[in-house]
Amino acid sequence: MLDQRRLPEEERFLELTGWEQVAEAIVSMTVRGAPAIGVAAAWGVVLASRRGADLAEAMGALRAARPTAVNLGWALDRMAAVLNRKPVDQLDALVISPGIPHLHPKPHPAAEMARAHHIEIISDIELLMRAQPQAKLVGITGTNGKSTVVTLIDHLLKSNSVATALGGNIGRSALDLDDPGKDGVIILELSSYQLETTPSLSLDAGAVINITPDHLDRHGGWDGYVAAKANLVKAVQSHGLTVLGADGAVVQLADQAASRLVIADQNMAPDTASSPDLKGPHNALNTAIAIEICQYLGVDRNALIAALPHYRGLPHRMEKVGQMGDIRFINDSKATNGDAAAEALKSFHDIYWIAGGDAKDGGIGVAANHLDQVRRAYLIGASAEAFAAQIAAACPVEISGTLDRATASALHDAQMDHCLNATILLSPAAASFDQFKNFEDRGHVFRQIVDGLTAPAVMEAAHD
């Protein structure tokens, strides 16, 4: 298995030398923040399959070992052999982490080698498919909103006594999920990368929420990105349900559906006024999609609606992280592109907007069309100057540079404006890698800054 979380000098194939070593390694794994099943488990499944073992039994044994994470450096030293020590033609598959490019913009050397030797390149989702779990399978993709939809489906089903397992591109890796059985549901968040490397994907229900430009370099352009998303539509079985968001690029996929098809829009959603974590028109669409799928799975619509107010949103997705008088602080660090930031800008009033970072293709994008509620923008990171050029004609702009300066400036201005119900909104419209480890790190830092600014001693000093 090849994993992008490794250090560059560690980017090598790992091959396990025997099933006994696999079992020992899994039991002995240590924690370093990698996904749950990791190197040993993934290669163990491939190895077991190559030896003719029953794949479902092999995966059952792996799950029984209950690994929580893999220390990849330890795995290298203790149980792996570098690929060039053994003929490559003895390998059956390359299991790649989603972050490893296998086609564009340039294939990883291991992927090139695998393709040259006709070795299939697959994802951990593909291994789950080959294990043939008994549960129904639901897959969700889209440029934005995937995590909200899958966690909402999970919440609605659990609230109505349906056993579930949630994972894939969120939370637990696919191979670490327990099969909830024939009456249960496995819910998978699926990225475009995973959809390219899961040829056996087969779903009982699936949805494509939206498609806007993102990760285009990894797919060779727009057409390749759309084609990756279309793989989900093709994967829904004829007896199943496909839900497409009422988005131009998504609706064009309708003719590729072999199942019953529903085109969902925000007007199909029930009233979510009593569901504080489902705020905004984009969450109306997310709710409509989740309810359509849960109804298809046999849950009564009224029972689903009754469970909506109890849904709690995910961290870094329009998450309220603080309050000072009439000023609230919203952490939307997950908004790593302009489309996602636009949804946040449409959801609040009197906004002091913190944006910027490592810009993606299209820069600030459609967020620039939703500035009517923005009182001032505070720009940070590598894209600050470029973002300023895109929006300075529409709203006042400050080049803050860093998140701490931006947050302090936004708070000062909101206090000076004496604005009722003001919102200091971190919704960057950019990736985070120029200043942070990832969007989660950026969101955590924002929360820490807000905690410092809203601490009682600070608040008292501000009013002296």
Catalytically active residues, by annotation = 146, 169, 215
Report whether 426 contacts 354 (CB < 8 A).
Answer: yes
Give helix 439-453 / helix 403-417 axis angle, nearest 10°.
50
Q: Can you say whether the dihedral through the CA atoms of 98, 99, 101, 105 is positive or negative? A: positive
Give helix 72-79 / helix 19-28 axis angle, nearest 10°.
140
Q: Can you say whether the dihedral through the CA atoms of 142, 145, 147, 149 is positive or negative? A: negative
d(CA 66, CA 137): 22
Tokens of 387: 């973002």
Q: Measured at the alpha carbon of residue 156, what is the angle toward residues 169 and 159, in degrees to the nearest 5?
A: 120
Which amino acid, residue 115?
A: R
Report whether 37 contacts 68 (CB < 8 A).
Answer: no
Q: Which value, in Å, is the radius of gyration of the alpha carbons in the chain?
A: 23
Pure H helices in 252-380: 281-296, 301-307, 338-345
Instruction: Reduce the DSSP state of residue 59 to 3 states and report it.
Output: helix
93-114 burial by CB neighbour count: b if 16+ within 10 A, else e?
A: bbbbbbebbbbeeebbebbebb
Report whether 316 contacts 443 (CB < 8 A).
Answer: yes
